[in-house]
Amino acid sequence: MASFLKGWFVVRRDLPRGRRAFLAALSFVLPLALWCFVSYVPWIWHPDVKLEVASTTDRISAVFTAGNRLSKGFFPSYVEAVRLDNAEALKTAQASEPVPGAQRANRVLLRQLAPVAVRNAWLAAGSEQDDTVIYHLWRDLATGAKTATNPALSQENLAIVQANWSSLSALSADFDSKKLPEVPLQKLVPQGIPSNPVYLPPPHEVWAAATKDFTAKPQGDAPSMFDRYRHSLSIILFGFFWSCVIGVPIGIMCGVFDVFSKLFEPFVDFFRYMPAPTFSTLLVAVLSAHDAPKVALVFLGTVFQMILVVSKTTRLLDPALLEAAQTLGAKPRQLVMKVVLPGILPNLYNDMRILLGWAWTWLVIAELVGVKSGLTGFLDTQGTFRNFDRVFPIIILIGVTGFVTDQILAFFHGVFFPWSGKSGPVSRAVANAVTWPVRTIVAGARFRSASKTLPSA
């Protein structure tokens, strides 16, 4: 055992490739496993109850529907309030005295079965107001023609269904709003299952919501999720592009020439402490309320850090390279173009990777500037209505996009800069394939040059 652990915990030495791959996969599996463990093991942590059958009661000011989550401490009070309502309904029914408005209230009460009917595939989603179908469902459940399995009705609720149907069928076998009982019917007693809090839906609910949102056809002028995704990508890419156009040249000049460093860096160092969102109102006033201020906010959030990072990377260039070039008579322009730029490119490429990740952190704020749009507009709307099962897929999508982009860029670092010593076998193979035409031409030129120098026979 000790030798096994010793092979894993080695000071300042890389692990074998297989172990590194295993740990990289484990870093993603562990959070997902913890999420599933908390969500699906009942006795671990389920502070709420998710309603499968809900009722309204005047004894509680809030109105609950199937799918709502209540705290475990409040749920028994909710159930008891509905039972007290049923006790009063039974007393009223025994007195046989009509209650004003009872028929309208009973028509609403019958729709308590609609969520159960939808989950059991007896009723299509969106047709919960079909009173005739729901009326017949009360009959089928009371007579045993149908049996609810998702969720299964408790014995108490089955008895209520039978009692209510007895009152309904005595007046009419088919739905007729004018022939509903004039005394209150009994309400279904709330049923629920242990649940995560509303802000942490289980993985299967997140997956179901993501599948529904990304496959649904857009309604009217509303953009599809893929349209929102493309819009968010364009905000990030345009903002980062202009940041590179401005920030990289200034950063390199600051790193090479002290005059640019003293001219630009004090102001840049001061300005980077100003939160970019504080300029959002000004950006909207100058650039209107559409995409321009969003792109500008991403630009402001990254360009000042980019200047400082690039200038530092430029200063880390080995001074011996500059001294050698100056000894050979290189001029300032040649030093920048022939020595500085080729020398810093591998590290500059990595800086851009890191700063692109920084740009992603500004996406949510940028898309709230002016007119809400893109993934953030959807995220903000669903969060307001506490539909967190629809919020999580967007958060995960943004993270996956940033991570995959970074890994692709990391792979191409070995392709573009194979001399940096960080390329793997795949990167080296791609680099060899890309440079093969050039190497072939050079080898041919050398062969022809050598053949001309050979003495003739």
Q: What's the pLDDT tens digit per position in 251-270?
A: 999 999 999 999 999 999 99
Count each helix (H run) and each strand (E run) in the chain, helices first.
19, 3
Among candidate residues 257, 239, 251, 252, the one with its CA nearest the CA of residue 293: 239
What is the domain partition of the chain in residue ranges?
Answer: 48-195, 225-449
User: Looking at residues 324-329, what average pLDDT do you find?
Assistant: 85
Beta partners for residue 452, in sequence order? none
SS (H, E, C) 5-35: HHHHCCCCCCCCHHHHHHHHHHHHHHHHHHH
- In a 3-state reduction of DSSP, which class is residue 434? helix
Q: What is the pLDDT of residue 226?
A: 93
Write out pLDDT tens, residues 190-229: 999 999 888 999 999 999 999 999 998 888 788 899 999 9
pLDDT in tens, 277-321: 888 889 888 888 788 999 999 999 999 999 999 999 999 998 888
> What's the confidence (pLDDT) of residue 303?
94
| pLDDT for the residue 88 | 93
Pick the more confident residue, 111 or 441.
111
Q: What pLDDT was estimated at residue 453?
A: 57
pLDDT at 369: 87
pLDDT for the residue numbered 427: 46
- Position 444 scores a pLDDT of 59
Q: What are the pLDDT digits (tens) for 400-425?
A: 999 999 989 988 887 888 766 555 44
CA nearest neighbour of 373 among 242, 215, 222: 222
Query: b vs e for 395-424, b when ≥16 Cβ sit within 10 Å of the residue's Cβ?
Result: eebbeebbeebeeebeebbbbbbbeeeebe
Confidence of residue 91 (pLDDT cuts 50, 70, 90): very high
Which residues are registered as beta bridge partners of 51? Answer: 192
Helical ranges in 272-338 per DSSP H: 280-287, 291-315, 319-327, 332-334
Q: What is the mean pLDDT of residues 82-104?
A: 91
Q: Looking at residue 220, what is its pLDDT?
A: 79
> CATH code for 225-449?
1.10.3720.10
